[in-house]
Amino acid sequence: MMLIPTHHFRDIERKPEYLQPEKCAPPPFPGPAGAMWFIRDGCGIACAIVTWFLVLYAEFVVLFVMLVPSRDYAYSIINGIVFNLLAFLALASHCRAMLTDPGAVPKGNATKEFIESLQLKPGQVVYKCPKCCSIKPDRAHHCSVCKRCIRKMDHHCPWVNNCVGENNQKYFVLFTMYIALISLHALIMVGFHFLHCFEEDWTKCSSFSPPTTVILLILLCFEALLFLIFTSVMFGTQVHSICTDETGIERLQRTKQPREQSGSWKSVQEAFGGNFSLNWFNPFTRPCQPETPIDKGLVRQVSSLSDVDNMETAESQLEATKDRDSVEVLDE
């Protein structure tokens, strides 16, 4: 006879009486539709401010060090429009990724009454998150920073001060793409400006003194190169996750808890918003995620207790791996 570890009853509920409802406060009254989502995390807020500062610094150097002093007005106008448009789209995508609910599960819904309303059948279980006292749907994970369970959570990103999940992954992908593009554009313009200044008098190629100009350009070059590499890698990782319909956490769990991948063109359309169009690149259009029913994915079917053991073991090993690597950015 298989023994069930006692900690199973903390996370897996088969009957309402196991819930200890006195420890689960009733769900809070839902806010108004479209209410702003914002995570009050000091580190995340600081990272978001630094992100905006770096983009605005690049704007300053590109405009007032390279483009405004240039005598080639066509070059200045075209590059100024392109760079400012990409910077605006990057900051708009950053705001949407930061202020959009990533797919938070209703908090405090693991009550006896709600479990009874699900009418569990033999072989069915629901998972309760002991941290936010909510019923954890399939493919949802708890974030220790947001203090909520997030549907299809990929990771928590301090640069956008939010989780990347079901509802805001499009905006995060656009943010990384536009940052990579303006970084590449800035690097190209810095290269051309250095060549121009070497051919002519340094005092005529910028309104700043030559030492100041060199320092500003070198700092911009270092910033652009660093963020080009970082955001390009993140962009590729996110696009791969969308195409394979597999989040970053699920990739970590794959060796211990294999799941059938169902990536398809449909998952890409759902993430970016319908059939391919310019709206895919527009941070002001919402992805075409269908309205998520409140009880979607809450009830899970298991064939035996060994299935439960395998899932619990995989989750425990993921936690141990994160603790060992000292990257406590997300919790399962």
63 DSSP 8-state letter: I
Rounded to whole angstroms, the Cα distance separating 315 from 332 reads 7
Count of C-beta atoms within a 10 Å radius of residue 52: 13
155-157 and 162-164 strand pairing: antiparallel
CB 141 within 8 A of CB 153: yes
Rounded to whole angstroms, the Cα distance separating 21 from 154 reads 30
CB 44 within 8 A of CB 145: yes
Tell me phi and psi for residue 267, to 5 degrees: -65, -35
Query: Which residues have a Cβ under 8 Å from the Cβ of 238 and sit 6 or more positions away?
Result: 154, 164, 169, 172, 173, 176
Query: Which residues have a Cβ under 8 Å from the Cβ of 75 and sit 6 or more positions away?
Result: 67
CB 232 within 8 A of CB 175: no
β-partners of residue 162 are: 157
152: region left, alpha or beta (phi > 0 left; psi from -120 to 50 alpha)? left
Query: Which residues have a Cβ under 8 Å from the Cβ of 282 and sit 6 or more positions away?
Result: none
Task: Single out the residue of 161, 104, 166, 183 nearest to residue 136, CA to CA.
Answer: 104
SS3 295: coil
Look up tokens 């950053």; give the residue. 94
Question: Which residues form the catalytic set?
Answer: 157
Q: How far apart are the first and last CA of the chain?
A: 29
